[in-house]
Amino acid sequence: MSDAPYLSLEKLTLAYGDTVAVANLDLPIRKGELVALLGPSGCGKTTTMRAIAGLLPVKSGHVRLDGADITRVPANKRAVGLVFQSYALFPHLSVYENVAFGLKLKGMRGTGLDAKVRSGLTSVGLSSFANRKPAELSGGQQQRVALARSMVMEPKVLLLDEPLSNLDARLRLEMRTELQRVQKETGVTMIFVTHDQAEALALADRIVVMKNGKIEQIGSPEDIYNRPTSSFVADFVGFENIFPIEQGKMKTSSGLIDLSGPAPSAAGLAWRPRMVTLGSGPFRGTVRGTSFAGDSREYLLDTPFGPIKAEVEASQPAHALGSDLSFDLPAEKAAPLSRFA
């Protein structure tokens, strides 16, 4: 892995008609990286991916790949592969012909073509399905055909649109392993788009969280999971108790509240339910709801500063609905947020 960016988006602005979808986006990606574009629908992640593929004209800014400016290079000359969310297999062609499609356009013929297609199919474990039509395959198999179809083209970058979203839980795990294996074996640079944080965390080397056409945070899965820098990212990765900080105090609907420990300097603090101390502490709340989740138990507390979610190990004694509890939001455990919006 080299440190110089292999694919870089520079001041990229994308629009549908007059509606700007992505504004002034900068994103360098190293060769061989596996990057996730994570965000809710409408955040611009798919738009960005389509622009990298060349399916969407760039309004301003640049896309550079492997040292060349490809901003105006048409999609069919970019050497960028894309595995569509729907797989987009050609329904009238067999699995074999689907995989051979791009190679034939490159002018490949005869045994060279055949060998390449066969090895592509073998690598995704579908060599015995060569003569089937896409409609005769399961969703997971179709996706592997789509993967093989893109990979035989030896793209410089492989894009994947919500690669795991259409699969059931078991296949999801299988596909995740498959993608990691392919990436490891070929060293291809992969970018995938997802709205599912678990998918991004499990698969990516680096996660780019997007919101409203802008990058909210870039970091390793650990960074994103443990150290969100904004309330948006914190919320997105499961910090359910988030408060702004003013003058070193927590700002709530019932005024500024002192926290235990040294006064924080961040713009906000975020706690996962598990980070809330239950049964002791300076604050009091009433149990409004409770749910049992196997090895843990979750409580929803009514407090003077709004609802708080807390989670404790199931081995702890249970609290009944309506019971009054003391709790604490320990500042030292919280994730400090530099931006609150």
Partner 1 sequence: MFQNRAEALALALPAAFFAAAVFLMPVAILLSDGFRNPVGGWTISAYTDFFADPLNRTVFLRTLRLGAIVTVVSAVLGYAAAFAIVNLEPGTKGKMTGLVVLPLMISPVARTYAWIVILGRTGIVNQALQLVGLTDAPLRILFSETAVFVGLLQLFLPLMIISLISALENMPKDAVPAARVLGANWFQVFWKVILPLTKEGLVIGGTLVFTGSLTAYITPAILGGSKVLMLETLLYQQVSVSNNFVSASVIAFILIVMSFAANILLKRVATARNKQRVPQ
Partner 2 sequence: MSARSLFIPLTLFLVLGFLIGPFLIIVAASFSGGETLAFPPQGFSLRWILKVFTVESFRASFGMSMFLAIGGTAAALMLGIPASYALSRYKLPGAEIVRTVVSAPIIVPGIIVGLALLRYIVVPFQVGITPALFLAHTALVLPYAVRVVSASLDNLRSDIEEAAVLLGSSRLGAFFRVVMPNIRGGILSAFILGFVTSFNQVPVSLFLSGPGVRTLPIDMIAYMEIVFDPSVAALSSLLAFLSIGIVFAAERFLGFSRYV
List interacting residues with partner 1 (CB under 8 A): 16-17, 56-57
Residue 55 binds to partner 2 (criterion: CB under 8 A): yes
Give every strand in the sheet of 277-292, ordered side by side: 306-313, 296-303, 277-292, 324-328
Given the complex with partner 1, which of 56 and 179 has the nearer CB atom?
56
User: Which entry of partner 1, partner 2, none binds 65, CB below 5 to 8 A by partner kind?
Assistant: none
Given the complex with partner 1, which of 75 and 267 has the nearer CB atom?
75
Given the complex with partner 1, which of 17 and 91 has the nearer CB atom?
17
Contact window for partner 2 (CB under 8 A) among 100-108, 198-206, 247-255, 278-286? 100-108
Other C-beta atoms lying within 10 Å of the C-beta of residue 111? 7
Burial string for 176-207 (b: 16+ CB within 10 Å, else e) reads: bebbeebbeeeebbbbbbbbebebbbebbbbb
Spatial neighbors of 224 by CB under 8 A, at least 6 apart, are 38, 197, 200, 201, 207, 209, 217, 233, 237
CA-CA-CA-CA torsion sign (219, 221, 223, 228): positive
CA-CA-CA-CA torsion sign (138, 144, 148, 151): positive
Residue 116 binds to partner 2 (criterion: CB under 8 A): no
User: Which entry of partner 2, partner 1, none binds 292, CB below 5 to 8 A by partner kind?
Assistant: none
Residue 53 binds to partner 2 (criterion: CB under 8 A): yes
Residue 170 binds to partner 2 (criterion: CB under 8 A): no
Residue 75 binds to partner 2 (criterion: CB under 8 A): yes
d(CA 193, CA 57): 19
Name the token pair of 176.
């995740």
Given the complex with partner 2, which of 189 and 197 has the nearer CB atom?
189
CB 114 within 8 A of CB 121: no
d(CA 140, CA 133): 14
Contact window for partner 2 (CB under 8 A) among 99-107, 122-130, 275-283, 323-331? 99-107
Given the complex with partner 2, which of 90 and 292 has the nearer CB atom?
90
Residue 18 binds to partner 2 (criterion: CB under 8 A): no
Contact window for partner 2 (CB under 8 A) among 51-59, 171-179, 250-258, 269-277? 51-59
Find the shortest distance in angstroms from Cβ 8 to partner 1: 24
- CA nearest 239: which of 225, 254, 257, 218? 225
CA 270, 276, 281: angle at the middle one, nearest 5? 120
Given the complex with partner 2, which of 6 and 87 has the nearer CB atom?
87
Residue 32 binds to partner 2 (criterion: CB under 8 A): no
Residue 82 binds to partner 2 (criterion: CB under 8 A): yes
Radius of gyration of the chain (CA): 24
Residue 226 binds to partner 2 (criterion: CB under 8 A): no
Total residues at interface with partner 2 (CB under 8 A): 27
Name the token pair of 235.
């919320």
Residue 165 binds to partner 2 (criterion: CB under 8 A): no
Given the complex with partner 1, which of 16 and 292 has the nearer CB atom?
16
Site residues (vs partner 2, CB under 8 A):
17, 53-55, 74-78, 80-82, 84, 86, 88-92, 101-102, 105-106, 146, 149-150, 153
